[in-house]
Structure 1
């Protein structure tokens, strides 16, 4: 891939943005060196890596990549016998610890999601716990060698502290003496040349004797080591030398231990760099709201709502571009500042990003080709050194493109043929386009020349396009219109700006009849397209309103059933209480009768008492009987699909759709479908057979929740929101099973849908569709 093309399409800015998402110098190093690959299998692997990292970030939010250092120079120096500093050893221990943390993190991940690529990386990480522990036990985080690193070091440091205490004690007695305030510049103890000294005034230098180590800038103060502590300082320095020797011995041992694991450490660093880079790509993809593209080696580009990644999401206008299937060349015409060049760069940059393993700023399902080379002639590049004009500069690049372009190339021309005589420039542009078209290259070109508007109509495999311009606001909308050539809009703009009609009419008379006819045709196409967009927006709003109404009706029906069940339950409890009270009173009456018979000899027989109790029991209302006024009767009619029935519970009429099981039927009542027990149905009549027609899928009068949900072309997050709503609607409609169409694609959407369904409490099981149902592009969910 040419460096000039990478710079022209601003791929270097993508790398700079990517660097901001790395966690270590290892990741930044890879981001700086990132280049698009021209090998299809490598591009596919890189995209899989980025997608797997993105999947982890969606589930976990982050990954522990802190504490990674580039320890390769340290390991190599240790390998040849060099001694590492304490700070370098701390970096070694930190990197070993980070590798151990991320290895455990990824191994735990496999219980939640499949991460085969990450697991293959972590298999190469050897846990060097002994090395980490040895360094941590000897050196703290700040790089200081600890007293406990060895017994000898502990002893030496105890001796140093004892000697320093004696020196300080002796010096403090000097600075607290009665004449110290007169002879000393300040009553402090300080250090010069690693020896304890006191600040003595120049005129009293002979009073303390000893060694002068320094003086103040004015020369009035001398920093003197008094003679009485010279011997103590000498002893202290001797012990410090031994301390330093012991520290070097410890560092040498740890360096040798590091050298023993140099192979494992170098592999570990390489893997950590790869992991950091993988997750940097995933984080960058999330920032630009990117998606994993489908890659092919057939020169096919299908970008859905693609955005230029270097333009703010709030400002950029997304456009869909298709190339390589029905046509291999797109000619974009229209005025300046309309967005033609941005569209050109968007396609080129998305291609380079995809071939570098980055996600692209477009909707899920977008497709890009892996090209062997990408050529771009974009911008007004005058060469002062070569004394070349704009036209000549462009021609130098075009000549180079024509020498190298083939059927594995993507060629981008901006303002083809500009900078020379319009008639010659247009003819030259047509000839250049014909040449690259013959070679089988995929081409997108922008131009001002009206002659090229007819180019797409006269050649197979070529189509026109334009960027929309709003004459009312005198500004471009930046929307790409495939199949519609651009209009100049000069007359309309002039009229809006106040130019007289007479002048405009005169100008029109100078335009040929053919040109006027073409402009009128373009205007008609634009008008038809705008009307179609208006109608589509109106249909979408009706669809939205109907969906809202349907959802509201389902909610009200659900609330009605819930309230009904609550009232029925309260009535049962109240009835049970009344019955229980009646039984108790009856028992009390019978007991009193028996008592009367025994006490007073009343002529009451036992069998009469039993018969009275039975009659009391029969008079008790049964809770499970059909409530008064219900007309439920044992079903004598053999129900069949299509029968019109009366649903006793709701007092509504409907018709039978299908038998659910031996006791229940699915009944259509208006816009609702519900499961109803057969005992709650009363046969009305069987309608005469009529010609069956499929129920309209547009939400309207006959709308009900469909048995299928089509998610193809949806973004990942939007698709899951739709699935959640659809499952709720399907459950309210009483469906036993539904089908969700996610397509085969990259598998990310399929996996996300299936993970959601597995976690839903009402989903009994899921499976892929059968051969006739869509295969692995469809997931069938069965409800409990």
Structure 2
């Protein structure tokens, strides 16, 4: 058994005695006589209360419909959030796979170029330079990758993505996961062989190979649009057209040339001059061996006195 009425507190109700009497079969003439006994004010009050009750019923039905619609919209929004975050995770994984492949290609290309240098001493010097530059380049690339904002739904709380610490230039304050302990901590100190990590009140020493860096959006990148990766390189007009290497060792010269060519290339210079002098010819040979495998160099030729080399750069 269920009640056939609904209690509404704070709402005045009209008398239903005559209506109930009609429903149970009381003769109409008796009902008409009873209505005559009601004063005009009572009849007006009853009509007003009945109209008010009908309006309240309409509002209740509208409120229930709105609640149902709100629940349906909230469910759809949560579904869109889950789908969006799944796509962002997939995009992030694809980006990191492509980035690793690119860095591997850079290393392989550097090794190929080194093998083309005929002079053994120049090749060894160039190899040390290239190893340093490639290592720094990889570190810079991963540092930039950490600053990329992969948008996530406002209420989503995904597990931060992890990168092996060997591929990132660690610094104090970085959040890391200690693999052997499966615990998250903060880098406190970076030693020559081990890294000190604070996990709560614990102080743990761990090898770099035992650490993963948590990649999380920085405060500077939160809310930034992320329609793919955009890199804007600004050309510099103050890059000189000449580089003087006289007095430099071969190793110093190769490092200066590499930086100079990078800057000139980004400044959209088409031709530069590298002054190396004549001397014993060792510096001149090392410079030209290095230029022959540089990705920014289209071609080069000696000057008339052979104390310098004119270099034509590729177009950006």
TM-score normalized by the length of structure 1: 0.17
* Higher relative contact order, structure no. (Cα contacts within 8 Å, ≥ 6 residues apart): 2
TM-score normalized by the length of structure 2: 0.38
